[in-house]
Every structure is written in structure tokens, then in C-alpha cells.
Structure 1
Amino acid sequence: MSIVNHEQNPGDHRSDLIGRFAQHKVAANLLMLIMLLAGAVSLIKLNTQFLPNFEPDYVIVRVTWPGASAEDVAKSIVTPLEQQLRNLDYVKEMRSTSYQSAGVIVLEYDEGSDMGLALDQVKEYVDLVRNLPSDSETPEVSKVSLNEDVATIILSSDGTLEELRPLAYQYERELLDRGVAKVEFIGLPSQEIAIQVDSKQISALKMSLPQLGQQILNASQDIPAGTSGKSEAAKELRSIEQRRSESGFE
């Protein structure tokens, strides 16, 4: 039996990647430094958010009929709208809910649908329904949008709550002007303004109290005005006309 001892010549080195780095330690350290710098830059530019960027595939149709029962809403409002809206394309599912004084229809579209175009089509189909009750309000058609919470601002004062209300509205206007999509108030009681009209003036206007109240309501509300752009770049347009002061109603 013979034993052969194979000894590696000190001059022989591995020719693969590990061998080359073993021979050139500076190159290995330089590569590690480049990787660390690239990781640091990527971490700074990493997009972090609670929800991913996607567009909900839902359109909501809401109709208010003051004083009507749920059965009347379902028969006179929801059913005619459903019969018209079932002719829409790319609708995956349609659900409706009828309750006292209002009805809601939710349209779920196929994934990847152009929701801007879908919203316009729903508005067109809703406008084709002419036999809704005359005393019901104009149908509201809106697209479901997700808003991500980015900040919480706390306002406090030693004075009355009414002293903070103008300041809160001022901050709201400034945030909206800076591009914030929506501002919600928590803990701020709703404000009520009483409008008194003389009976002689009502007679001169030739309007009943409900008609006058409806006219005031129509002239003081924020109304959706469609969208601008497509896909993730789409922006909701809204007409800001809600009155919040005595001078505004005057």
C-alpha cells in the first residue's frame, strides 16, 4: 500500500471570486464599503406608509328622501336605480341598503378597472332615471377613496370652545392649500345657525318653509365635482360652498 501526500504549492491560488478577494483584501473591503453606502442610500429613499398605493374598486350611490320609510325608499328609489345600473360594464357585484330616509347602492368593479371612467358612467346612468320621487334629494355619486393619517394637531385654550373654532377652520384652510386631501375634526361640536324669516317676507317669496329650507341647504354644501387625472395620480375635485358663518348665509 502506498500513501501519496499531495501538498499545495504556495504559489497556487484559487481562481474563483473568493480566491481573488483572498489575494486582494483592499478590493473586498472596498466592495463591503460600497454595499454599506448603497444600503444607507436605499434606506433613506425607502417609501414607508401604512397602506400601499392602490385604487379601491367601489362606487357609491346615495339618495336621501326625508321622512320616507325603508320600504318606500326600496320601492321608489333603490329598485329603479338598480334596474338602470345593472347595465353597466365591468361591475363585479352590486349591493344595496334601504333604511329610513335614505338608500345606498354600492358597486364593486373588476380589479384594474378605470375608476375615473366608471364614476362618470355611473353618473350618466343615474341621470337617466327620471321617475324618482320629486321631494327626494339629488343622488350623490362618489368613488371610495382611502386617506392615510399623516399627522394629529391638538388645539387647546383656557378660553371657551368657540374661541378655538375660527383657529381650527384657519388651520383646515392652510392644510388644504398645502395639498392635504382631507381634514377631520374630533371633539368639535357641530355648529348650528338659526335663520329667522318674517312671515311677510315668506309670503313675498311665494315659498313654503320646507322649500325655503331646501334652497338654503342647496346653497350651502360641499359638492363632489368628479376627478382629475387617472390611476394613482387621480385627484378628487370638490366644490367648497358650505357656509359656516352668519355673513355667509346673509
Structure 2
Amino acid sequence: MISKFFIEHPIFANVIALVTVILGGVFLYGLPVAQYPEIVPPTIQVSTRYPGASAEVVAATIGVPMEQAINGVENSIYMSSTSASDGSYALTITFEVGTDLDTSLALVQNRVNTALAQLPGGVTAQGVTILKVSPNILLVASLYSENDRYDETFFSNYAIINLQNPLARIQGVGQIRIFGAGPYSMRVWLDPKRLQTFGLTTADVLAAIRGQNIEVVAGQIGGPPVPENQPFQFTINALGRLSDASQFEGITIKSTSGTAPQLVRLRDVGRVELSQQSYSNFSRFTGHKAAQIVVFALPGANAIQVADRVYKAMAEMSKQFPEGMKYAIRYDTTLFVREAIRSVYVTLLI
């Protein structure tokens, strides 16, 4: 019956066919695309650091209380953790497919809060980070210089200070990780023999640094209540946190009075230098010193759209790079997706 109608009205049939083709062409490029359907279980990562601790200490002091608190959180399938020799700890909780990660994030946060009191003070001072993460890398960008004008620490710090936060704010980006030499750190190299000579321990040095490298409120001059003829009020600015190696070397470790007064400063028992936080990591790109910027997409995000936004942001931020610094996208998981989709488009058009 329907076929007979269209046979008797060929013009109407052609119009319907033409409208269908036009609508198909309009909506073709609006189709959501991805390499695979959403079959990977969503994950949440809990991470922190315990500076100076070994992997065994990290596992015992952070891993045990944290995993006991989070174990059994609603809709979770399993957990896996990593305790590294540089003091870092990462716990990944995997949930069932289709789980609302926003709700799960709140549940994990509540569990973590119950474990904070059991963590060492050095860990709570560092903070605990809880993020929705994708287990798969979206792309990797490398910062480098062809003439090796900058060292690895410079590249890592530039990426952490100037690139990490802007990239993390891009819609669809779940996490930005910087691999390389790591951030700058004030390193104190102690001489054991000198410490023994002055009757000191590393704990004494650590306590002195913590006690003298702090922000303090110095108060005010001329604050109320004041006489009526006092017209001015001044805020006192103290030195606060130390900023260079010479200031750290001047920290007083020990002072005594009496018949044999003694004043021991940090420079008397060691040396201080501004260097990288850890010497266990390094990065190279085509033989040059480099830092790697690894981008993870949020679960369920359109990989191609996120990658396009990252490409655009990197191109824009590269205009502000120091002289001689360059970047290159060394790994991009969307290249295969783009080619496969292009083939689909060609097939549909043909």
C-alpha cells in the first residue's frame, strides 16, 4: 500500500529522500564518537605523600588505615594501591559500570576523613587528594629544548606552575600528571661527623628548621585602644618563610651560654642547596632533557573533543614559553579514533 503510493507520486518520494539525505548530512558530524563504548569501570584515586619514608613505612602507616577505612564503600568492586620508595601513596578504587562517580566521590571522602586521625603528621601536612580518574592516558605532551638550555627541574617546575592548572580546568580533563625531575626543593646535606662533634642529631636539625621557617603574625603598632592624638597605625611585617639557601644556612641549631658559649648554625653541620625534590626520576625526549605532561580524561568524556581543547590550550600557552623551550605531543590515543571515524564518514558519503 505504501509502496504503491510512492510509485504513483514520484516527486513526493524524491523530496522525502532528499530531505532524509540532508538531515543525515546535518546530523552526521554531531554524532558522539569514541573509540570504544563506556565499558571500563569508573575509578576514584586517593593519593598522598610521606616525605622521606620508605615503601614499607608508607604501606604500614598510610596504606593500612586508609584501606581499612575505604574497604567496602558502596558499589566498589575492588581496590589496588601502590606504595613507592619516594614516599608517595596511591589507592585506586574501582566501581561497577554505571555508578554515579559524584556520589561515590562523596562516599570515599567521608571514609578518608575517618582515617585522617590515624595518619602521621607529615602526611596530613601534605594533604590527601581524592580525584575521579580514568585508567587510560588520553595524550602526552613533552616540554624540551633542542639546545638543552634548561635542565629537567626547570621543565618540571614550569609545567607544574604554569601549565598544570590551566590544563586541569579544561572541560573533560580528569587529571594532569607531570613526570620528570619533580619540583624544586631546598635540600639539606648533613655531615654526620660534624653533627657528632656538636652533639646533635637529625631530629634537632629538623626541629630547628620547622621552628624557624614559619609564617608569623608580628602584630601592629598604634592599634586600638590608643590615645586620641595617635593618628597612625602600622602593620609589622616579619621575615616569615625562608626563600634561599643562605637564609636556611643561617638557621640556629644550638646555642648555649655560660663559660663556654656556643652557637651552631646549619652551615656548621652541612650545606644547603636549591635542587630537585627527588633524584630518582628523570625524563628525556629525543635525547634532550624534558618533562612529560600526561593528560587523563574524565570517565565518559568525549576523547576527541577533550584532545582538541588540550591541543588548542597548549598552542596558546606556548606563545608565553621562555626562549628556546618547545613542546611536542608525543602520544595521542585519539589518532586511531579520528582515522576510523573519517573512514566511516567517507563510507556514509559514498
Unaligned runs of 5+ in 1: 1-15, 218-230, 233-250
> 2:16 — aligned with what?
31
Does residue 198 (structure 1) correspond to residue 254 (structure 2)? The answer is no
Question: Which protein, 1 or 2, shows the higher relative CO under an 8 Å CA cutoff with sep ≥ 6?
Answer: 2
Q: Separation in 1 of the partners of 2:164 and 2:84?
A: 33
> 1:93 — aligned with what?
78
> 2:118 — aligned with what?
131
Q: Separation in 2 of the partners of 1:21 and 1:56?
A: 49
Q: Separation in 2 of the partners of 1:105 and 1:83?
A: 12
Match of 1:121 among 96, 107, 122: 107
SS of the residue aligned with 2:14? helix
TM-score (normalised: structure 1) = 0.54
Moved over 4 A (4+): 49-56, 145-149, 152-158, 167-194
Q: How many residue pairs get matched?
A: 194
TM-score (normalised: structure 2) = 0.41
Question: Structure 1 residue 118: deviation in Å?
Answer: 1.9
Unaligned runs of 5+ in 2: 187-243, 254-265, 268-272, 278-299, 302-350
**Counterpart contact for 1:59–1:143, Cα < 8 Å:** yes
Does residue 47 (structure 1) correspond to residue 96 (structure 2)? The answer is no
Question: Structure 1 residue 189: deviation in Å?
Answer: 8.3
**Counterpart contact for 1:73–1:103, Cα < 8 Å:** yes
Question: Structure 1 residue 170: deviation in Å?
Answer: 7.7
Does residue 57 (structure 1) correspond to residue 42 (structure 2)? The answer is yes
Q: Separation in 2 of the partners of 1:187 and 1:67?
A: 19
Question: Structure 1 residue 37: deviation in Å?
Answer: 1.6
Aligned residue type for 2:118:
N
> 1:244 — aligned with what?
none
> 1:9 — aligned with what?
none
Identity %: 23
**Counterpart contact for 2:79–2:93, Cα < 8 Å:** yes
Aligned residue type for 1:142:
L
Deviates more, 1:70-79 or 1:191-200: 191-200
CA distance 1:147–1:20, change in 2 (3 Å) = same
Bigger fraction of residues in strand: 2
Aligned residue type for 2:93:
L
SS of the residue aligned with 1:36? helix
Q: Separation in 1 of the partners of 2:165 and 2:60?
A: 42
SS of the residue aligned with 1:135? helix
**Counterpart contact for 2:40–2:97, Cα < 8 Å:** no
Does residue 142 (structure 1) correspond to residue 127 (structure 2)? The answer is no
**Counterpart contact for 2:133–2:175, Cα < 8 Å:** no
Question: Structure 1 residue 86: deviation in Å?
Answer: 1.7
Q: CA RMSD in A?
A: 4.9
> 2:218 — aligned with what?
none
CA distance 1:192–1:124, change in 2 (3 Å) = same
**Counterpart contact for 2:58–2:89, Cα < 8 Å:** yes
**Counterpart contact for 1:96–1:105, Cα < 8 Å:** yes
Q: Separation in 2 of the partners of 1:183 and 1:73?
A: 23
